[in-house]
Amino acid sequence: MFSDPVLTGLIVFSIITLYWSILGAYVLFKSGVISSKFAAILVAYSFLAWLTSRIMYMNFPEVPPHPILIISGLVESPISILTTVYIYYKTRIIRLKWIPYIALYSLFLVANRISLYLCRNLPVPEILLLPRVLSEWASLPAWFFIYVKSNRIFSIKQASIVICYQALVWFSLIFMLYYLALPYSQISALEVVMNYPITLLTLIFIDRYRLSRLEHASQ
């Protein structure tokens, strides 16, 4: 077994993945966040999410990397819901109807993955821009549904400003790539910084909404 370093590495990494999954799910159960049944599902899901792309890489070497990205993106998407929207819902920060939200989110996910597939033969790094932009724009209905419609975290005017800023960020990335011909490494670093205002604004508005609701409830 140890003569094959890749297999050895994967076995060790799978054990560690299982360790983190069991530990995380156990503590979530112990602190009353999830039930025991959901903890078991979470362990299985967490392990399978990690395993899927590894199976793809190891067993289907003739498949180009993009289908691997497409499938692993689909498998890993519940993680982004659990670590954001589910937390807000469970801690009673927001109210949410799950069926319309999941429907809108699935729409965004399908748009994201189809665009990635359609652009699979584009030269890199452009491929990293277009599908991501399409997916971000497709995610706006789900974002709007949570932050504007279901919960008045942003007014229509404020939401429009946020959306315009996101569009501006995208245009500036395209401008940097095609007109300024900056290397992708510089663009990606600048993008991290350009996303700070949106993250900050969203967190401040969620906090303001949450605290106003708590004050209202205590009166």
**Binding flag, residue 95, another protein (CB under 8 A):** no
Least distance (Å) from another protein to the CB of residue 142? 19
Number of residues that bind another protein (CB under 8 A): 73
Alpha carbon separation from 111 to 5, 59, 60, 116 (Å, rounded) = 38, 27, 25, 8
Least distance (Å) from another protein to the CB of residue 73? 13
- Most distant CA pair in the chain: distance in Å? 69
Nearer Cβ to another protein, position 13 or 171? 13
**Binding flag, residue 88, another protein (CB under 8 A):** yes
Tokens for 49, please give them.
């999410």
Nearer Cβ to another protein, position 107 or 181? 181
Q: Which of 17, 77, 158, 172 binds another protein (CB under 8 A)?
A: 17
Q: Which of 37, 193, 216, 219 binds another protein (CB under 8 A)?
A: 193
Is 126 in contact with 118 (CB distance < 8 Å)?
Answer: no
Least distance (Å) from another protein to the CB of residue 147? 15
Nearer Cβ to another protein, position 107 or 126? 126
Backbone angles phi, psi at 179, to 5 degrees: -100, -40
Instruction: Single out the segment in contact with another protein by CB under 8 A; choices: 101-109, 111-119, 148-156, 208-216.
Output: 208-216
Binders of another protein among residues 47 to 66 (CB under 8 A) are: 47, 49-51, 53-54, 57-58, 61-62, 64-65
The region, left, alpha or beta by phi > 0 then psi within -120 to 50, assigned to residue 202 is: alpha
The full DSSP string for 87-124 is HHHHTTS----HHHHHHHHHHHHHHHHHHHHHTTTSPT
Q: Which of 37, 179, 192, 216 binds another protein (CB under 8 A)?
A: 192
Binders of another protein among residues 143 to 182 (CB under 8 A) are: none
Tokens for 140, please give them.
């706006």
Tokens for 45, please give them.
């899901």
Least distance (Å) from another protein to the CB of residue 190? 8
Nearest to 149 by CA among 200, 203, 106, 94: 94
Q: Which of 35, 44, 92, 161 binds another protein (CB under 8 A)?
A: 92
